[in-house]
Amino acid sequence: MTTRQKTRRLFFALWPPEPVRLSIQTLLSALTGPLTGRLVPAHNFHITLHFIGHTSPQTMACLHAAAQSVRFDSFEMQLDCFGAFPRSNISWLGMQQKPDALLRLHKTLGDALAACDYSVERRPYSPHLTLARKSMPPPEPLPLFSIAWPVSEFVLLESVSESSGGQSTVRYKVIEKYPSG
């Protein structure tokens, strides 16, 4: 008799510190009209570095070892623009200027994950923080803003589905933290 291994849906991401989460919530409340669609709860805010998908315990051990090998210096990002992916109906926050340190971290982590048979996405990396799904772009006029996000670690997250009262939700759970240095 064979037993099926439990897989976990994983991804590497930047996980904002609490002051950044609060600044994003304050910004969203300042919009002239509400965002439409399914809003991402503040406790799930993140910027994906690499989406891995369903992962076995053995592969997870390899991913962890690969991530531990990544060395990077702390850096700061400025969330300073709204955007949308019209084809997928996603509204997001992003950066007009992507820090070189962020792009290096993305590449270095992707290179390290190759040892685990992970194939880096071919599309150019487009770092963003999803605000809403099944959404239209935020209503005009948009406020000018700049939210400083100091980055001193990246994390391995698990996407956990939960059901309550017939409603299904997703919560992101931090599995491991990988500090700069």
- What pLDDT sits at residue 35? 76
Question: With contact defined as beta carbons under 8 Å apart, do 86 and 52 qualify?
Answer: no
Residues 105-113, mean pLDDT to the nearest whole number: 97
pLDDT at 48: 98
Domains, the chain, with CATH or none: 8-179 (3.90.1140.10)
Strands of the sheet with 47-55, listed across from one edge: 47-55, 8-14, 153-164, 167-179
Q: How far apart (Å, rounded) are the C-alpha atoms in residues 125 and 108? A: 13
| Lookup: tokens for 81 | 């623009």
Lowest mean pLDDT among 58-62, 98-102, 123-127, 166-170: 166-170
Report yes or no: 10 and 154 within 8 Å, Cβ to Cβ: no
Query: How much is the pTM?
Result: 0.91
**Cβ atoms within 10 A of the Cβ of 9, count?**
16
Q: 130, 88 in Cβ contact below 8 A?
A: no
pLDDT value at residue 32: 60
Q: How far apart are CA 134 and CA 132, in angstroms?
A: 7
pLDDT tens, position by position, 84-102: 888 889 999 999 999 999 9
The residue-averaged pLDDT of 43-65 equals 95
Q: Would you place residue 141 in the very low, low, confident or very high pLDDT band (cuts 50, 70, 90)?
A: low
Q: What is the DSSP letter of 165?
A: T
CA-to-CA dists, residue 38 to 23, 57, 88, 136, 162, angstroms: 20, 32, 13, 11, 16
